[in-house]
């Protein structure tokens, strides 16, 4: 077999900047693709756009002029639309390489995205088996219609081949190849305040791991195109042991929101993590994503002893009506128990309530907001539901004309956190009022804290001494990244009581304090302009 294909795997830039940027979620999906390509013997170079100075066009040109590639590959979700478009256009301008695009961005809207972005091939769904088979067929000039899970142009006819079956045995997939994607460079540049779960360490070294794929549930705001599958615990621990010891990892980020459904599996995981912690000479913590199922005192105590420091929950709503509408198989009682028991166990919480579901009313929104005000003390975020491509509510928004233009939505609205009115039970004005109440509540109930002292360590990096507004403990946080020491604002979790608060400069604190009044004045001014603009003002002549 001819394995002489030269492939460039591009990691998209995650923020709009021309400077090196190391604050981004590492792309595990692309690391898996790199691993299978290397296993099959392909020649793969990698370009992590986040780590270099210059525009995307400049960086693509520099790399594409160095070498003649046969294929350029990347992947993303819909949020990366504009970046992916630049990557594809740059490839077209500076190379004759064919382009392969994967990820949710093309899986959720294959024909539409294919026609707009114009890659040569789109890989739909899980990509490990598909991309290897696609390359093998291209090597032998075989009929691409027989490759399941792709979209391509067949002489002017856009062809979407049959759906590929999900990979049944996740243990059969090679571990993701982080090394080739400059993972160690990102580790060395991490800061204490980059992400909430990293606050526990001054110099966090985080390793994210996918313990499963897809989801057994069918929430209306999520997109999953395959059945839920879990990796064996032995396979997970083998990857973790290798990574923790190789990279001196001190924080494991577990991606599997359904890990807590099987209580015995969770208990066994805690035992295995305790063993791993005993094998190394440095501290090791875990940040987990879990559902509220089985979150009782016993299991939380085991997790705390195993080094679990933060848990992310998907609360979404405290209204049983809205939870049912969302397809969320949890109850307000489970949310209440998980929230309070987690805090009692001394574990930090990250969770969100999202308003604006199809079934949302003023009454259901009040249910959620009232419980939040009474219980959460600023520990749970508030926002509006987003119709991500592929989800049921996305299809609802298209059918009802709420999303009028797909391209405008994907290109402009989704990445800007646009607020949509998806319910016929609330008017646009009522949605706007709810939004104002949410923003006001966040400003009122969030604990804004001024640091006791700030010490510069190096350019844009400081040590903050902060008194926790909950337990009163003064904690020093070194290695905090701050662009401007006069206008900063970021979340921290107390290392003593694990409650979250917001550290702000004096100027920012004033801005947050008076923002509701400024916004109200701006809205009043807008209404006045609209009102008087409609009136014909007569001027009396003397």
Q: What is the mean pLDDT of residues 180-202?
A: 95
Identify the CATH number of the domain in which residue 55 sits. 3.40.50.280
In 3D, which of 127, 181, 180, 187 has the Cα closest to residue 151? 127
Residues 51 and 151 in one domain: yes
Residues 261 and 297 in one domain: yes
User: Is pLDDT at 538 greater than 60 in this prediction?
Assistant: no
Residues 210 and 124 in one domain: no
Range of the domain at 125: 6-160
- Domain assignment of residue 323, yes or no: yes
Tell me the pLDDT band of 257, cut-offs 50, 70 and 90: confident
Q: What is the mean pLDDT of residues 152-175?
A: 96
Residues 224 and 355 in one domain: yes
Distances (CA, A) of 329 to 291, 315, 323, 324: 10, 11, 7, 7
- Domain assignment of residue 176, yes or no: no
- Domain assignment of residue 179, yes or no: no
Q: What is the mean pLDDT of residues 42-54?
A: 97
Residues 441 and 452 in one domain: no
- Domain assignment of residue 151, yes or no: yes
- Domain assignment of residue 185, yes or no: no
Per-residue pLDDT at 537: 45
Tell me the pLDDT band of 531, cut-offs 50, 70 and 90: low
Higher local confidence (pLDDT), 416 or 87: 87
Per-residue pLDDT at 533: 61
Residues 28 and 91 in one domain: yes
Q: Do 19 and 53 contact (CB within 8 A), yes or no?
A: yes
Q: What is the mean pLDDT of residues 134-146?
A: 96
Q: Do 198 and 192 contact (CB within 8 A), yes or no?
A: yes
CA atoms of 476 and 466, how far apart (whole Å): 6
- Domain assignment of residue 131, yes or no: yes
- Domain assignment of residue 360, yes or no: yes
User: Is pLDDT at 542 greater than 60 in this prediction?
Assistant: no
Regarding pTM above 0.85, the answer is yes
Residues 222 and 333 in one domain: yes
The share of the chain scoring above pLDDT 90, in percent, equals 85
- Which DSSP symbol is given to 426? S
Residues 21 and 122 in one domain: yes
Residues 333 and 206 in one domain: yes
User: Is pLDDT at 1 greater than 90 in this prediction?
Assistant: no
Neighbours of 517 (CB within 10 A): 10
Residues 375 and 524 in one domain: no
Tell me the pLDDT band of 414, cut-offs 50, 70 and 90: confident
Residues 114 and 156 in one domain: yes
Domain count within the chain: 4
Q: Do 313 and 351 contact (CB within 8 A), yes or no?
A: yes
- Which DSSP symbol is given to 409? I
Q: What is the mean pLDDT of residues 2-17?
A: 90
Per-residue pLDDT at 524: 60
pLDDT digits (tens, 9 = 90+) for 292-312: 988 999 999 999 999 999 999
- Domain assignment of residue 75, yes or no: yes
CB burial of residue 522 (10 Å; 0-12, 13-18, 19+): exposed
Q: What is the mean pLDDT of residues 491-506?
A: 95
In 3D, which of 488, 382, 489, 362 has the Cα closest to residue 441? 382
List the strands of the sheet with 43-48, edge to edge.
43-48, 6-11, 71-75, 98-102, 121-123, 150-154, 157-160
Neighbours of 154 (CB within 10 A): 10
Identify the CATH number of the domain in which residue 438 sits. 3.80.30.20
Per-residue pLDDT at 413: 84
Lowest mean pLDDT among 138-142, 193-197, 317-321, 535-539: 535-539
Q: pLDDT averaged over the chain?
A: 93
What residues have CB less than 8 Å from 164, skipping those under 6 apart?
124, 125, 126, 129, 130, 148, 149
Tell me the pLDDT band of 8, cut-offs 50, 70 and 90: very high
pLDDT digits (tens, 9 = 90+) for 21-47: 999 999 999 999 999 999 999 999 999
List the strands of the sheet with 500-504, edge to edge.
448-449, 500-504, 489-493
Per-residue pLDDT at 5: 94
Lowest mean pLDDT among 62-76, 104-118, 266-280, 513-527: 513-527
pLDDT digits (tens, 9 = 90+) for 473-489: 999 999 999 999 889 99
Residues 438 and 405 in one domain: no
């Amino acid at each position: 077999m001819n394995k002489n294909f030269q492939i460039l795997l591009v990691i998209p830039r995650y923020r709009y900047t021309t400077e090196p940027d190391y604050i981004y979620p590492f792309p595990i999906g692309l690391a898996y693709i790199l691993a299978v390509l290397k296993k099959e013997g392909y020649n793969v170079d990698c370009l992590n756009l986040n780590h270099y100075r210059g525009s995307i066009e400049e960086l693509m040109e520099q790399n594409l002029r160095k070498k003649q590639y046969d294929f350029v590959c990347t992947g993303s979700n819909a949020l990366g639309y504009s970046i992916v478009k630049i990557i594809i256009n740059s490839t077209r301008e500076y190379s004759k390489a064919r382009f392969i695009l994967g990820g949710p961005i093309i899986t959720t809207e294959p024909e539409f995205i294919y026609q707009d972005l114009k890659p040569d091939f789109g890989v739909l769904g899980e990509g490990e088996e598909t991309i290897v088979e696609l390359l093998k067929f291209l090597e032998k000039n075989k009929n691409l219609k027989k490759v399941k899970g792709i979209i391509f142009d067949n002489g002017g006819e856009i062809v979407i081949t049959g759906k590929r079956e999900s990979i049944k045995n996740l243990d059969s997939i090679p571990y993701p190849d982080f090394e080739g994607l400059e993972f160690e460079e990102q580790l060395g540049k991490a800061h204490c305040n980059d992400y909430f779960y990293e606050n526990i360490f001054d110099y966090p070294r985080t390793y994210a791991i996918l313990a499963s794929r897809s989801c057994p549930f069918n929430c209306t705001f999520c997109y999953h195109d395959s059945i839920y599958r879990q990796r064996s615990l032995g396979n997970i621990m083998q990857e973790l042991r290798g990574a923790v010891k190789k990279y001196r990892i001190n924080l494991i980020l577990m991606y599997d929101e359904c890990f807590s459904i099987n209580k015995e599996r969770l208990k066994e995981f805690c035992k295995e993590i305790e063993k791993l912690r005993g094998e190394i000479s440095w501290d090791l913590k875990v940040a987990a994503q879990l559902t509220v199922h089985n979150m009782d005192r016993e299991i939380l105590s085991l997790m705390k002893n195993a080094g679990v420091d933060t848990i992310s929950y998907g609360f979404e709503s405290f209204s049983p009506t809205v939870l049912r509408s969302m397809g969320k198989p949890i109850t307000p009682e489970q949310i209440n128990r998980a929230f309070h028991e987690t805090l009692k166990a001394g574990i930090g919480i990250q969770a969100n309530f999202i308003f604006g579901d199809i079934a949302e009313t003023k009454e259901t929104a009040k249910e959620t907001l009232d419980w939040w005000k009474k219980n959460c003390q600023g520990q749970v975020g508030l926002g509006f539901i987003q119709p991500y491509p592929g989800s049921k509510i996305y299809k609802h928004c298209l059918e009802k004309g709420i999303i009028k233009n797909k391209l405008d939505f994907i290109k402009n609205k989704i990445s800007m956190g646009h607020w949509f009115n998806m319910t016929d039970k609330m008017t646009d004005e009522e949605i706007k009022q709810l939004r104002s109440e949410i923003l006001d509540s966040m400003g009122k109930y969030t604990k804004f804290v001024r640091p006791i002292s700030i010490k510069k360590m190096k350019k844009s990096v400081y040590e903050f001494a902060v008194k926790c507004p909950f337990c009163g403990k003064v904690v020093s946080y070194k290695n905090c990244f701050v662009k401007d020491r006069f206008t900063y604002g970021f979340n921290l979790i107390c290392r003593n009581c694990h409650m979250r608060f917001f550290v702000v400069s004096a100027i920012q604190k004033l801005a947050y304090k008076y923002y509701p009044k400024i916004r109200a004045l701006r809205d009043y001014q807008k209404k006045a302009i609209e009102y008087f603009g409609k009136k014909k003002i007569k001027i009396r002549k003397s």
